[in-house]
């Protein structure tokens, strides 16, 4: 029997304080609370139209629990959330900077990516997918840019300016 994985439906994270984490995902990334079990668990949906019961689950495990590792043990590296436009990516960048959560960025050729951490140190990516027909030509150019991300330059090339302030 064969089967086909359609897409990732949702992610669930253990966090020190689910209520605090829910506020972060709501205030910074625009998620909305779909349901919660007191302060022990929050089930959230993205702010886009979704058919999912939830896109992100957050479960409290207590303030004294150590944070995630960075490659010292087997485990999740990061989650990736896709936005539909470059102006949305610029807006996400600004919100992540304002929250003190942005930890990196990269032009991968196939995607333009921002990397951030939630209050518990869980890493996630917010990215814009470069149109597939550009992948081959951008891959060669990406090496020249050393992965540097220029959202405004990419938006300018595509006639998507001005970006939101």
Residue-wise pLDDT tens digits, 9-63: 899 999 999 999 999 999 999 999 999 999 899 999 998 888 888 999 999 999 9
Give which of 44, 48, 70 is closest to 57, Cα–Cα.
44
Cα dihedral across residues 45, 114, 101, 92: positive or negative:
negative
Average pLDDT over residues 55-72: 90
CB atoms near residue 151 (< 10 Å): 21
Render pLDDT for 105-138 as a digit per residue (tens, 0 to 9). 998 888 899 999 999 999 999 999 999 988 887 7
Delineate the domains of the chain, giving CATH numbers in brackets: 1-63 (3.10.180.10), 77-165 (3.30.720.110)
For residue 132, CA distances in Å to 65, 116, 135, 145, 152 come to 42, 25, 5, 19, 20
* Local confidence band at 163 (pLDDT 50, 70, 90 cut-offs): low
- Measured in residues, the chain has a length of 165
Tokens of 134: 């550009």
């Amino acid at each position: 029997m064969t089967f086909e994985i359609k897409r990732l439906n949702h992610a669930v994270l253990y966090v020190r304080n689910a209520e605090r984490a829910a506020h972060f995902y709501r205030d910074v990334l625009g998620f909305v609370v779909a349901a919660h079990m007191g302060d022990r668990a929050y089930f959230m949906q993205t702010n886009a139209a979704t058919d999912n019961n939830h896109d992100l689950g957050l479960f409290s495990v207590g303030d004294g629990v150590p944070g995630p590792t960075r490659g010292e043990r087997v485990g999740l590296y990061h989650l990736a959330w896709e936005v539909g436009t470059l102006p949305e990516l610029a807006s996400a960048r600004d919100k992540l900077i304002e929250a003190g959560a942005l930890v990196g960025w990269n032009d991968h050729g196939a995607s333009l990516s921002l990397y951030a951490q939630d209050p518990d140190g869980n890493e996630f990516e917010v990215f814009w997918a470069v149109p597939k027909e550009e992948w081959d030509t951008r891959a060669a150019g990406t090496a020249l840019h050393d992965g540097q991300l220029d959202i405004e330059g990419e938006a300018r090339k595509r006639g998507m300016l001005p970006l939101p302030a």
